[in-house]
């Protein structure tokens, strides 16, 4: 029988969910203000290593685009820690796998973000970037849920409504792709 994960791990997974929500909000600002190309290079920022870019120059569109990159790097680092933490402490293989998948997804997402800048925001790459952002968000919510006390308290018998719920989930996900 698996025991409830430590309080610190449960908290950490929730912090990642919250940080991802902020990151998606920051990405949406980049898109809404159409400032995706205000930093024309990647992985550097106007030739600077990204953390060495002067704060005083974080103005206009650069504020949104560079801020989005910094936040993305933070979430990437947190996801790496989570994957390592789960790898060492989590006994359920499926949950470890979710952690590794989240890590791979955020790396792919970061590279897509860079490529969309380098190739001047091609629709396909920007679309994938938008869809993976939401998929990653769902994944970290799922991880946080599987680590929560609530998960362990509930009975996990297959509910007769589960296939209807699954159909709704797939429909909402398809809607998300069309939206992107």
Give the tokens for residue 161. 């409504």
Residue 121 within binding range of ligand HEM, rule CB under 6 A:
yes
> Which residue in 98, 117, 140, 143 binds ligand HEM (CB under 6 A)?
117
Nearest distance in Å: CB 27, ligand HEM: 2
Helices and strands of the chain, counted as H and E runs: 6, 0
The residue among 71 and 86 lying less far from ligand HEM, judged by its C-beta, is 71
43 prior amide bond cis, ω within 30: yes
Residue 144 touches ligand HEM, criterion: CB under 6 A? no
Using CB under 6 A, which of 78, 102, 130, 140 touches ligand HEM? 130
Which contiguous run of DSSP H or E holds residue 93? helix 93-118
Part of the chain binding ligand HEM (CB under 6 A), chosen from 3-11, 53-61, 69-77, 154-162: 69-77
> Contact between 140 and ligand HEM (CB under 6 A)?
no
d(Cα 14, Cα 55) in Å, to the nearest integer? 29
Q: Could you tell me if 15 and 53 are in contact, meaning their C-beta atoms sit under 8 angstroms apart?
A: no
- Contacts with ligand HEM in 74-113 (CB under 6 A)? 75-76, 106, 109-110, 113
Nearest to 8 by CA among 72, 89, 74: 89
Over the window 6 to 45, marking each residue x when it contacts ligand HEM by CB under 6 A and - when it does not, the resulting string is -----------------xx--xx-xx----x-----x---
Relative orientation angle of helices 93-118 and 123-147, to the nearest 10 degrees: 160
Cβ neighbors of 116 (< 8 A, separation 6 or more) are: 36, 122, 125, 126, 129
**Binding-site ranges for ligand HEM (CB under 6 A):** 23-24, 27-28, 30-31, 36, 42, 68-69, 72, 75-76, 106, 109-110, 113-114, 116-117, 121, 126, 129-130, 133, 136
């Amino acid at each position: 029988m698996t025991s409830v994960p430590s309080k610190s791990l449960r908290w950490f997974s929730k912090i990642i969910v919250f940080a991802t929500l902020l990151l998606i909000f920051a990405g949406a600002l980049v898109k809404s203000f159409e400032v995706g190309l205000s930093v024309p290079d990647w992985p550097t920022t106007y030739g600077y290593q990204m953390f060495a870019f002067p704060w005083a120059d974080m103005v206009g569109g650069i504020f949104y685009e560079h801020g989005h990159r910094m936040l993305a790097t933070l979430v990437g680092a947190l996801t790496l820690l989570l994957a390592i933490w789960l790898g060492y402490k989590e006994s359920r293989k499926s949950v470890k796998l979710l952690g590794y998948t989240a890590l791979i997804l955020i790396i792919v997402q970061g590279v897509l973000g860079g490529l969309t800048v380098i190739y001047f925001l091609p629709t396909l790459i920007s679309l994938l970037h938008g869809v993976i952002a939401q998929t990653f968000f769902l994944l970290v919510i799922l991880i946080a849920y599987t680590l929560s006390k609530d998960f362990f308290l509930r009975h996990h018998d297959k509910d007769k409504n589960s296939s209807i719920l699954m159909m709704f989930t797939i429909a909402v996900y398809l809607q998300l792709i069309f939206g992107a």
